[in-house]
Amino acid sequence: MAMGASAGGYAAADVATGTEATVLKGWAAWGSPDIPERYPLAGFVANSWPRSRFRRHLHASIRYVMDDGELDGVFDDSAERTLLVFTSRVRRHDGRTPGHTDLARLFAMAATRKLPRPLKYLPSQYRVDPVAFATNLPATLHSEFVRPLTRDNYHCAIEASCLVPLAMGPALHPELLSPGRGYLDDAQAVFVDGGFSLKMPMATFQDDARFRDLARWIATPRTVIFCCDPNGRLWETSMRLRALNAYPTVARDIADGTLLVIHPDHLVEAGFLCFDPEVIMRTFDRGREQGRRLLATQPVRRFLSGAAGTVPPAD
């Protein structure tokens, strides 16, 4: 079981292919100018406001890294791996379809996410709901908020999950994600970065009735969380309003040794709009070296082997 939102959703999709080569393929090719030429944006997106160089690379990278061969690994008959990608559906409370001004407001939310709470931009005119897309999803779990992830919507769901409005171009239309489904509240909505509504799902899975059946279906004996916060804070959403480290079940699972939190022991060099291949690969190499060090430690080896014992919480 692999899941995530935004860059975490992209990384989870890499893992779901079952090949280490897929992961390296994405890092090594990021920022390469020829990839967007091979996988161009549709005209109605490329010519829409705002135009975004980053969007061209994101769109192309997803399709280059996860082409038909990789998708065969995700959608194989054995169903050994399940992938969950979180997106955010944004609607205006007044029922109007979000427009250019709304994209600017959503960007302002993202741009101020790391500021102290009094300085964050948190507009009140939107309803932002998490919508999860899952492979191998039983028909009994299909709902407005839990939808099938298929070959037809795979790339678009990952693109939507990563998409910060304005900085990465226009939002995605619901029809690209759930063609022909006719969810009523999709009519005046757009889909954007999954981190807006659900970055760490632990509390939502327990407290929100819309996702409890999904949580039971995907439950695993042990869980590894990769977070990009150097201090290991498990932010529930990218708005950084609540960290879940002290949430009762999270704290219990860490203490019991069934939840392992892995985070960088350094500031991550590459920003979320980085194009520089050298910076990208330095970021990758530094993370890989940390991973190798962690794999040599007794707590991590004990956790991965399933042996009893307490894994110390991340600091």
- 270 vs 279: CA distance, rounded Å: 6
- Note whether 303 and 257 are within 8 A (CB): yes
Q: What is the per-residue pLDDT for 307? A: 59
Q: What is the per-residue pLDDT for 287? A: 95
The single-letter code of the amino acid at 308 is A
Count the neighbouring beta carbons within 10 Å of the beta carbon of residue 82: 18
- The phi-psi region of residue 276 (left if phi > 0; otherwise alpha if psi is between -120 and 50; otherwise beta) is beta
Question: Taking the C-alpha atoms of 244, 250, 255 and 261 in order, what is their torsion angle to the nearest 10 degrees?
Answer: -70
Q: What is the per-residue pLDDT for 311? A: 41
Count the neighbouring beta carbons within 10 Å of the beta carbon of residue 42: 10
List the chain pLDDT tens, one digit each, 315 residues. 999 999 999 999 999 988 888 888 889 888 888 999 999 998 888 888 888 999 999 999 999 999 998 999 899 877 788 999 999 999 999 999 999 999 999 999 999 999 999 999 999 999 999 999 999 999 999 999 999 999 999 999 999 999 998 999 999 999 999 988 879 899 999 999 999 999 999 999 999 999 999 999 999 999 999 999 999 999 999 999 999 999 999 999 999 999 999 999 999 999 888 888 899 999 999 999 999 999 999 999 999 888 544 444 443
- 168 vs 172: CA distance, rounded Å: 11
- 272 vs 261: CA distance, rounded Å: 22
- Note whether 233 and 315 are within 8 A (CB): no
Q: What is the per-residue pLDDT for 23? A: 87
- Note whether 233 and 200 are within 8 A (CB): no
Count the neighbouring beta carbons within 10 Å of the beta carbon of residue 26: 19
Q: What is the per-residue pLDDT for 49? A: 83
Q: What is the per-residue pLDDT for 312? A: 42
| H and E: helices and strands count for the chain | 14, 7
In the numeric block, which tokens belong to residue 210?
């819309």
Q: What is the per-residue pLDDT for 310? A: 44
- 314 vs 232: CA distance, rounded Å: 6
Its pTM stands at 0.93
Q: What is the per-residue pLDDT for 77? A: 75
φ/ψ of residue 246, rounded to 5 = -95, 0
